[in-house]
Every structure is written in C-alpha cells, then in structure tokens.
C-alpha cells in the first residue's frame, strides 16, 4: 500500500488542467483546507478561492489557484471541478491588482444586491490570486 497514489483530476470549464496520480492533494474547501490521501473517506465539498497543492512524496510539486467550485473524493480519486484554474507561477500580479481595483469600484457603485455579490466574489478571487503569489515567493 506504500506505493498507492490518488488519481487527481482538476477540470475547469475550458480544459482538463491536471490528470495524474499523486501522493497527496490539499484542497481549499469551503469549510477549510483538506488533504486527500489514498483511502480517503468519500465526500463532496465546495471549494473556495484558494490554492490546490499537489504533493509528490513529501514535496509540493504543483500549486494551482482555483476560483471556487466543487470537489468529489473517493478512496482512490479526487476530482475538482473549478470555476477557473491557473498555476500560481502563471499569475500576473499586475493583472490581479487591476482586477481587484475594478471589482472594488464596481462594488462601491453597485445598485443591487446581486451586483454587490458579484463584485464581492470578484474581489475575493483577485485578492486570492495576489495572496497566492505572495505566499509562493516567500
């Protein structure tokens, strides 16, 4: 059993982002981060904006920012259906900061609850991208 892996798939609306066996994956769940190892109990969870960490052995081999979505976990597999996904190394902080300013402006001028909620969600995603890059550079 020491050689067992978890089949990890990360899917965005545009494409299959990752499909590979991994030792562990840590997912930013709606109720908190959770790690998935072989033999994990089945669950379905919401995914909040944050970074998925993929482990090979004891080392993080990939860090991918997701803007939210859902995860399905079984004893052998972890599938994340993400609203959007981008490798942390590929995030342009300038673009994320611009997106944050735009969302903050939209929030301030929103005239309905749905417009405010949309702007607030976009602010969270943009800030999450900025935070992900800052954490990875330390």
Report yes or no on 66 lying in a domain. yes
Q: Are 30 and 47 in contact (CB under 8 A)?
A: yes
82 & 101 share domain: no
Q: What is the mean pLDDT of residues 102-116?
A: 94
Query: Any residues with CB less than 8 A from the CB of 104 and at least 6 apart, and which?
Result: 119, 123
For the chain, what is the domain count?
2
59 & 21 share domain: yes
26 & 83 share domain: yes
Cα 30–Cα 88–Cα 62 angle in degrees, nearest 5: 85
Alpha-carbon distance 138 to 132, whole Å? 10
Report yes or no on 110 lying in a domain. yes
Q: What is the pLDDT of residues 63-73, one digit of tens each?
A: 999 999 999 99
30 & 64 share domain: yes
Q: Supply the DSSP symbol for 113.
A: H
Does the structure show a pLDDT above 70 at 14?
yes
C-alpha distances out from residue 124 to 11, 13, 14, 88, 121, Å:
21, 20, 21, 16, 5
Q: What is the mean pLDDT of residues 110-114?
A: 94
33 & 83 share domain: yes
> What is the pLDDT, as a whole number, of residue 138?
60
When pLDDT is cut at 50, 70 and 90, the band that residue 2 belongs to is very low
76 & 105 share domain: no
Q: Find the domain containing 80 and state its range.
A: 6-88
Report yes or no on 56 lying in a domain. yes
Q: Are 38 and 4 in contact (CB under 8 A)?
A: yes
> What is the pLDDT, as a whole number, of residue 135?
86
46 & 102 share domain: no
Report yes or no on 71 lying in a domain. yes
107 & 130 share domain: yes
């Amino acid at each position: 059993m020491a050689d067992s892996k978890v089949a990890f798939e990360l899917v965005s609306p545009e494409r299959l982002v990752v499909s590979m066996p991994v030792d562990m994956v840590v997912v930013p769940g709606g109720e908190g981060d959770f790690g998935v190892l072989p033999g994990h109990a089945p669950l379905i969870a919401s995914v909040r904006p944050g970074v998925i960490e993929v482990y090979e052995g004891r080392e993080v081999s990939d860090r991918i920012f997701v803007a939210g979505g859902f995860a399905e976990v079984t004893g052998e597999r972890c599938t994340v259906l993400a609203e959007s996904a981008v490798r942390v190394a590929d995030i342009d902080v300038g673009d994320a900061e611009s997106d944050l300013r735009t969302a903050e402006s939209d929030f301030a001028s929103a005239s309905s609850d749905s417009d405010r909620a949309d702007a607030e969600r976009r602010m969270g995603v943009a800030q999450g991208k900025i935070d992900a890059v800052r954490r990875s550079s330390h």
